[in-house]
Chains A and B, each alone.
Chain A
Amino acid sequence: MMRDVTSILPLSLESISFRGEGRKLVDAVSLVVPAGGVTVLLGPNGAGKSLMLRLCHGLLTPSEGRVRWAASATGRAKRHAMVFQKPIMLRRSVEANIDHALAAAGVARMERRERAQAALGRFGLSERATQPARLLSGGEQQRLAIARAWSLRPELLFLDEPTSQLDPAATRQIEELLTGLVAEGITVLMSTHDLGQAKRLADRVLFLHRGRLIEDSLAEYFFAEPQTMEASAFLAGDLIW
């Protein structure tokens, strides 16, 4: 079938802006996200990282410009999924959380069960399957949020500061999981303000400042010799917003 062959990537942002409260919160950002690798959105608080991810995922509509996918997904499944900073857990069991997302994507009941089991196994949550999701620890909840997104078989996964509420051990675990997803061929676009994490994970860095994309470079170049004063200051820890 067509939809299984054609990729939705690359994703292109064509000069998108987002206005709120009379200001341009995202200002004429253009970029292309091809398939593969980890792209990290960096920038100080309020730079517009979360807004960018929401605009890409379709939770917000740009005031100007266009978010374009190489192929528009047919049917209910979007083929891109998002994990939020604070995991949003439904008031149901761990497994039912995954089942619900699959049902929303139009997956048939029999297949839902299989895919939920696979996701639980893949992310080490099988023993927790029947527990209320909201009683999991913060790290486990974020793992479940990723498992739930993974079960939807996205080509592109958006993550908004997925580890900002986690301790170092849980953060490491999530980073390993993400590396595994990338090895599987899933493209990742994530925001973080953990520089160490960006260095560990990023293939490419997008540096945002006051809603503008002021640097877009390979990670090694960005960290070695940032091109803008703002990025240098950010890396040096003297922030600027």
Chain B
Amino acid sequence: MPRQRRPLDHPSRRDSFGSAPEDEGCASKLTQSGVGQVDFAAIFKAAFALVVGLDPGFLAIVGLSLRVTLSAVLIAGLIGLPLGAALALARFPGRSVVIVCLNALMGLPPVVAGLFVFLLLSRSGPLGPLGLLFTPTAMIAAQVILVLPIVIALTRQTVEDLWSEYRDHLRSVGLEGMRAIPTLLFDGRFALATALLAGFGRASAEVGAVLIVGGNIAGYTRTMTTTITLETSKGDLPLALGLGLVLIALTLAINAVAFGASRIGARYAG
């Protein structure tokens, strides 16, 4: 069993972060001054310096966030795409209930997902012996739970619409039932890419789940959103703001890609 860095007491709130001198100077200045006298220009300058300077600690946080979220989206895609397609084609009693529940789960509060995974992984929980609590793996698991309903629900909708359009032809060429799934997933590729991006957006923006199951351990389970939460309360505004800028850029990028996908998709959809 792997030895874990398991913080027995709460992860230290005192880890200082960032090696850039401007960063530390600004942070201490801010802690001394009251909120009313925050020097915005200086904060922005320091934040930009962090982003542009490719500070290693800063990059590590961005990297961990991306690793956790991308892994979660990948896993949710591998599970959710076939499952959503199967749900679109299957007819069984209680199907509508399942669909309504899935749609509701799309709005599951991240803290609740976090709590759920926490209970599963906590020392006395059913999966406690795995020792995964407060690790990136736990964070990925929690985010899979957040992303999966989005992927399944949007896949089901996309595939069901396509199926009603393609049904006659696919059955005519002998693709009945589950054998139609590969065709439907492929032909829904642009809409499904958008569904995955929506999942990515939700996971990268959430803070509650990763905070609860990751524990916000410096250099280990600290993501962009949990760092922003912590550093803002500590007063290290440049770091928080720098990460905020990265998150905004990420959101813009996701939307640009989603827009592009739907444009290309519209071309093929005629």
Contact = CB atoms under 8 A, between A and B. Distances in A.
A68 interface: no
B168 A104 contact: no
Interface in B171-189: 171-175, 183, 186-187
A59 B173 CA distance: 10
Interface residues of B, number: 18
B173 A134 contact: no
A188 B195 CA distance: 43
Contacts of B171: 59
B183 A100 contact: yes
B100 interface: no
Contacts of A76: 174
Nearest to B169: A88
From B166, B187, B268, residue with most partner A Cβ within 10 Å: B268
A81 interface: yes
A116 to B, nearest CB: 14
Nearest to B171: A59
Nearest to A54: B168
B267 A132 contact: yes
Contact count band on A = 20 to 34
Secondary structure class of chain B's binding surface, majority of residues: helix
Given A89-B270, A132-B270, A134-B270, A104 B174 contact: yes
Contacts of B183: 90, 100
Interface string A84-120: 1000111110000000110011000000000000000
Interface in A43-97: 57, 59, 76-78, 81-82, 84, 88-92
A239 B268 CA distance: 41
A57 B168 CA distance: 10
Contact of B168 (A77, A88, A92, A133): A88
Given A134-B268, A134-B269, A135-B267, A88 B173 contact: no
A178 interface: no
B174 A88 contact: no
A135 B172 contact: no
Given A90-B183, A134-B269, 9 more contacts: A59-B171, A78-B174, A81-B172, A88-B165, A88-B166, A90-B187, A104-B174, A132-B267, A135-B270
Interface of B: 165-166, 168-175, 183, 186-187, 265, 267-270
Interface of A: 57, 59, 76-78, 81-82, 84, 88-92, 100-101, 104-105, 132-135, 152
